Structure 1
Amino acid sequence: MYLANASDSTRCKAFPTTLTKAVMKWFNNLPPRSVTSFDDISRKFLMRFSIQKDKVKHVPSLLGVKQEVGEPLRNYMERFNKACLEIQDLPTEAVIMGLVNGLRKGSFSQSISKRHPTSLNDVQERAEKYINKEENARLQEPSWRPGHSHLSKEKERKPKKKEEIGVEKPRRYHSYTPLKVSQVDLYREICHTERLPPPRPIKNKKGES
């Protein structure tokens, strides 16, 4: 509108076409003839829906930063530091209290409870020790070794050996039609159809002619 040098009335008429949902509802509820110019509607819009001011965060917001289950200590410390940067004039004691409050139960939280930190440098140094221990322990776990998960998956996909399956073979069918005649009569009926292989020759035992 500014580039096209549109008139004030054109700007006012075009303005509602850019609105949606709650803002459009607000515009429709404006009293008739309450808008005198585009600057007037702009001022009213900014007073009702200000997007230029960020929400100010205070010290109590640190209480919402918690170490999640399974979250490494390093990740929690990074999240907590970012939350502290969003608060101005943050007292050191408030940082320490917020950090301790959000820690999950573990060796580091037990150490903090036994000896309360005296400064932020003290907290950082003590945290680094437990971060290194945590990461070293994680690297020593078999599941964290390079290629371990891939090999385990390949092993699962390999077919099992015969001795692992067992002696008993799985049945081909779950149910079979019961015979109404004896096996002898059945063999007698199909012997001339050549569906049965001929019997193997009988081998004589040693010493017999």
Structure 2
Amino acid sequence: MVTTRGMENPDPIQMIRELQAQLEEQARTIATLQQELQQKKTNDVERSKEKQHDRETSEDSQNHNPPPPPRSPNFLSFTDAIMQAPMPNRPPPQVEKFDGTTNPEHHLRNFIDSMAFYTQSDPAKCRAFSLSLRGEALEWYYTLPPNSVDSFRTLTNMFKKQYSTNRYEEVTAAELVNLRQGKDETLRAFMHRYNHVTRRIKGASPEFIISSLPNCLTAGFVSEILYVELPNMLEELQQKMAKFIKMED
């Protein structure tokens, strides 16, 4: 009789090996699937980021206006063209300063002649002009509206219009020598007349203007002080007279 025990009862070791092989195959399959899923997830995230970036870029290009170029600092009255123009690499020439009391035409001629040896640049002349002003004239210059000066011609026209009343007929030095303070005339009123006459005398030196004043004043405290302590400069004289006027007021 033939036995079938060997066929009905397979080798358990073999079965374990086959089961282990199947488990290993399944593990490899699962690992492969996990890698594919992870790669797919990574690709989906990258594509999502790219789409978001494209949308943001598109929205920026449609809705976002780029900021305008920065404007040059313009604290005075010049246009950008004047402010951005190159300047000479050396300081401008020294010019006698205009204070608003003398003839503007004379000052402009003096300024232009001096600048002719420095530069022919229109913007440079515009920006150097303030250096030839002082006192009330400089204060006027600082009140010019922003962007109102686009050329030196524009600036000179403004200047001449502002001081048009300073253009007058010249007189001789004798008129100043013969000028006298009135009996009841205040020192303020007389100095206004005195300065007006001095501006009309062509070529009057500062020394002549200073030395003539004591003789023109009514005899008294002010004239005596000036005889003793006569100023050396016109600016010093004006300052001293301003103090006397304040005392009288």
The two structures have a TM-score, normalised by structure 2, of: 0.31
Larger radius of gyration: 2
- Structure with the higher helix share, 1 or 2: 2
Q: Relative CO higher for 1 or 2, CA cutoff 8 Å, sep ≥ 6?
A: 2
